[in-house]
Amino acid sequence: MKNDAENGFLFLSSNAQQHASLRPLISMWLSIASTAILEQDEDPDRRIWVLMDEAPSLHKLPELAETIAEVRKFGGCYVIGIQSFAQLKKVYGENAALEMFDLLNTRLFFRSPSNEMAKISSHDLGEQEVDVSKEQYSYGANEIRDGVSLGHQTITRPVVTPSEIMQLEDLQFWLRTPGNYPVVRVDLEFNQMRSLCAPFIKRNYTPSENIKQIEWSLNYHQFSAVQHVDKADKTKLQSIHDTMYEGDENNDERSAEAQRMTKLAEKTDAVAQSLIDAKKAKPTELALKDAQKKKAAEKQKAADQHIEDAQRLEELQIVSVEDAEIG
């Protein structure tokens, strides 16, 4: 980020199975990356592209609108893809969604199946003034009364009607760019890219015993231990958990995540409890060292006492010999 000579790419992606779990991490990473751009020196020639596909599927990023507004002078360029404007309003609220939408200068509108969303797209593409000429004919009983009249009228109408947006074909979209340029329809051509590697490669990872114990302990406190809190606290935790899935069009991810948490809680409850019992049954390494130190101290104390007793006995014997000599 700090080296303008680098031309690297950073991909933050997830598959459908893992998206619910990775959504908080991806949202956090994206927020950190956006803040890092604002920490750069101002440079109008720098270009740092941030492409957010399916933006409403992430958590709400409160600073996103402010970042888009200020990031331009640092060279930041944001490309945000959404399936529907209604999704954006559901996640960010109407005012924040309109503010964010207003900061994006170049607009691409693909097909909108619903008339309501097509109207929003049509309204955003703007209107145009058109001069309409009307020709009228009049006929009378006498040929002298026949006539033709021409009239001109200026009317305002949408540049693109909602019906035209709803009838777009695949790979077609309407493009509006900043400046005094016309709105145009663009046709794309699909090129099937050859597969160079697997889309997802799972890493073979074998955790150590210490890491396993830490993971079991974390899972217990995050999932299993929640079952032992009172009803009020459990309701608050559930409410916080539900906010993670605001903006979802369906509950498939939420159901999958809930099932995963339930299985994990059942699995870790017994294991974590056994670890706790083991800790109670076996002395810890620190307690073992303390016991050894205490035993060594007692042994040293006994040895010191034995030496002291021997010295006192020796002194008594010397005194007895001296008394005998005097006598």
309 or 23: whose pLDDT is higher? Answer: 23
The CA distance from 138 to 249, in Å, is 59
Give the pLDDT score at 79.
93
Collapse the DSSP code of 65 into the 3-class scheme (helix H, G, I; strand E, B; otherwise coil) and give the result.
helix
User: What are the structure tokens assigned to 102, written together?
Assistant: 């207003």
Number of neighbouring beta carbons within 10 Å of residue 212: 13
pLDDT of residue 253 exceeding 70: no
Residue-wise over 1-37: b if at least 16 C-beta within 10 A, else e?
eeeeeeeeeeeeeeeeeebbebbeebbeebbebbeeb
167 or 273: whose pLDDT is higher? Answer: 167
Give the pLDDT score at 160.
92
Q: What is the mean pLDDT of residues 58-78?
A: 88
Ordered domains of the chain (ranges, CATH): 19-124+160-187 (3.40.50.300), 209-281 (no CATH)
- Digit-coded pLDDT (tens) for 183-234: 999 999 988 888 888 877 878 878 888 888 887 777 776 666 666 667 777 7
pLDDT of residue 107 exceeding 60: yes
269 or 201: whose pLDDT is higher? Answer: 201
Portion of the chain with pLDDT greater than 90, in percent: 14
- C-alpha distances in Å from residue 74, one per residue of 2, 68, 81, 220: 12, 11, 22, 45
pLDDT of residue 21 exceeding 60: yes
Strand partners, 46: none
- Digit-coded pLDDT (tens) for 134-173: 777 777 666 666 677 777 788 888 999 999 999 999 999 9
Q: What is the mean pLDDT of residues 39-61?
A: 87
Burial class (CB in 10 A: 0-12, 13-18, 19+), 76: buried
Q: What is the pTM of this model?
A: 0.59
Least confident span in 33-37, 77-81, 207-211, 260-264: 260-264
Give the pLDDT score at 234.
72
Q: What is the mean pLDDT of residues 276-301?
A: 66
Give the pLDDT score at 51.
92
Q: Mean of the per-residue pLDDT values for the chain?
A: 78
Give the pLDDT score at 177.
92
Could you identify the residue written with the tokens 């026949």?
146
Give the pLDDT score at 222.
66
pLDDT of residue 111 exceeding 90: yes
